[in-house]
Structure 1
């Protein structure tokens, strides 16, 4: 005779949260951040917003549960003049295989006016994402007796939606995952690494590459914020990792942040700081993927609202190509400079590597899968980039060698 199992509430502790650098207590629960408090103190509003969006962060535990509930309070983003954004998705994996998806409606709202540069925070109620009907650990399906070995469960949090974790409930006990002996891949990049227009957290290109490479991902892809900030380099220096990559370029152009004379030394300084904490780990520098609007035209990038009535928001380059002579940066200029920087360092750093981002997404790919908003890849392109990165980097002869599991 089947009897309903009682719910068990398990505190959300650091042992259950993978991919975050800090789990900060809140009035009602905990908030995962991808930057520690010290770095967030130095960061601007854009970077702090990105650091609070848990790209690559997942709850990971071992259990015999057949039903899981997670109470959260998300923060949705609403852009003035832009089409509504879909609710963030939660991806469930059981023993490494996709097992469900869900969303949480409601929550807080952050209203962003990109033209005026203003932010308005509107509080809202929490919600619950539920996963039911998971196969019994004993293999007998629903109604089993709960025998057999427990399963490894991962819940990937929405990559682009800040997510306060309030309560975890299951119908069987939960315990932290044991050490699986996987190497840790620490990656830093822009909104493209953050996940940009990917449909869900497990199909961003770093998540897909990590799954193929058999590594545990710590994703410091921070939308609009891959700007060679020294405190970000110090964060990477101090974060335990076996494999490290930095994808540099597009945000420096987007923001029209610096000229060529400053860019090269800034890259050297960024890499120097990482090397203080990881002197011999494989360190991969990735140059920008193809982005036609900025290949030979400097920034800044500006929003183009001409297609908003049709539900489209895109971007355009506002710089003048003639300004390259004065040291303004374009993607082609940045790729050349990154190649020069890496070549200068190789004699003293044999574990340093370079990957041209156009190997992940180049001219032929743009003809087939153009960037929907002229800046960010869609889900199909994320998948292609993740597969290509894994094939180029995690295989024998690649920067990260053989599979690490």
Structure 2
């Protein structure tokens, strides 16, 4: 008996298939998911932010289909750091009916060559590659393809061997989270292994991840993007980038936090809102920024960082993580007098002094994959539990 293989047909990539992006840009090469809208991008002249907001942390294709084969053509952007070891290719995670089912990579693509010593970069264009998930059960199922959390990804084409439709009946509450590279997933091994993705899965919520590497700087345009994004639960992780970029002094920090929270509240006046202070980072607990590349480590082929600030500056308002935690606690306590839905979580409950020896930060700034898992489990247990500040059972789901 001859078995005829079902032909693979192209599936139009529509906005309804993409979750976790605030905007999708149509380019000459394909569709580029963004985690900040065009107006916000236009207000930033910072190449670092423009790079990381286009890296699709938490962005995934979500569809219902009985297909046994799904193919996705993309153009990834691979980052290459001069003098540092080659980075692994970004991972694409396949989740079927809520369970992680497979992981693939795409070779090729563009190359962004970054020279941290001179502070410059060069972009080398490349070609598209294909990620293939096959051997799937021929039954109707919910498929999620999570894009690499740290590679800008242009979506070129989608194909399947059965009809595909958008999965639009997700009853889970939407969790909108903003933070730094740790929230984006820096040093996590794969996109569903970043701590917010872990926490979202355990908490039964749908993630919108606005973690921006090096760019959680209390930018007003980020606050406005959060204000304008539908959400049932919101969290804002504040601190490490303000220190490691030596971005502001205490006087400016206090006003900036209030302004950021005020703007978010303009769009979400009673939504549960959790302020998360910094996780432990030994180099900056008592030493201000900026952070700087550890040249001795680079000479050994390792990427690591040191604190380059002067502790004597604390007296004149230079920020350390300790200073930020104390000030955030004060601000949240003050605001709670008029905002009962505002809460605080000390980041050291996610990664603290008891973890530094067993789970050291490999580059002195970012947790590794195992630590991301621990942090996600702890956040879910503290935030999404029935008595937690982002208690899921108390939520009325926002309109999608």
TM-score scaled by length of structure 1: 0.95
Find 2:181's aligned residue among 191, 201, 206: 191
1:124 paired residue number: 126
How many Å separate the matches in 2 of 1:318 and 1:201?
A: 31
Q: Is the partner of 1:364 in helix, strand or coil?
A: coil
How many Å separate the matches in 1 of 2:186 and 2:301?
A: 17
2:50 paired residue number: 48
In structure 2, the gaps of 5 or more residues are none
Give how far 1:80 is off: 1.4
Find 2:270's aligned residue among 274, 277, 280: 280
How many Å separate the matches in 2 of 1:205 and 1:32?
A: 21
1:215 paired residue number: 205
5 Å matches for 1:52-71?
52-71=54-73
Alignment deviations for residues 163-187 of structure 1 (CA, whole Å, 9 cap, x no partner): 0000000000100003221111000
Alignment deviations for residues 277-321 of structure 1 (CA, whole Å, 9 cap, x no partner): 000000000000000000000000001132335442100000111
Q: Is contact 2:83–2:299 with CA below 8 Å preserved after alignment?
A: no
Q: Is contact 1:83–1:308 with CA below 8 Å preserved after alignment?
A: no
2:250 paired residue number: 260
5 Å matches for 1:79-118?
79-118=81-120
1:38 paired residue number: 39
Q: Is contact 1:68–1:171 with CA below 8 Å preserved after alignment?
A: yes
2:79 paired residue number: 77
Q: Is the partner of 1:306 in helix, strand or coil?
A: helix
How many Å separate the matches in 2 of 1:135 and 1:165?
A: 25
How many Å separate the matches in 2 of 1:168 and 1:309?
A: 43
1:301 paired residue number: 291
Runs of 4+ in 1 over 3 A off after TM superposition: 308-311, 402-405
How many Å separate the matches in 1 of 2:301 and 2:98?
A: 36
Q: Is contact 2:186–2:366 with CA below 8 Å preserved after alignment?
A: yes
1:200 has 2:201 as partner? no
Q: Is contact 1:250–1:288 with CA below 8 Å preserved after alignment?
A: yes
TM-score scaled by length of structure 2: 0.97
How many Å separate the matches in 1 of 2:356 and 2:4?
A: 56
Alignment deviations for residues 87-139 of structure 1 (CA, whole Å, 9 cap, x no partner): 000000111111111011000011111222212111001100011111221xx
2:383 paired residue number: 393
1:363 paired residue number: 353
In structure 1, the gaps of 5 or more residues are 138-149
How many Å separate the matches in 2 of 1:75 and 1:285?
A: 32
Q: Is contact 2:275–2:343 with CA below 8 Å preserved after alignment?
A: yes
- Segment drifting more, 308-317 vs 125-134: 308-317
Q: Is the partner of 1:40 in helix, strand or coil?
A: helix
2:369 paired residue number: 379
Give how far 1:31 is off: 0.4
Q: Is contact 1:88–1:160 with CA below 8 Å preserved after alignment?
A: yes
How many Å separate the matches in 2 of 1:226 and 1:272?
A: 17
How many Å separate the matches in 1 of 2:191 and 2:301?
A: 23
1:23 has 2:24 as partner? yes
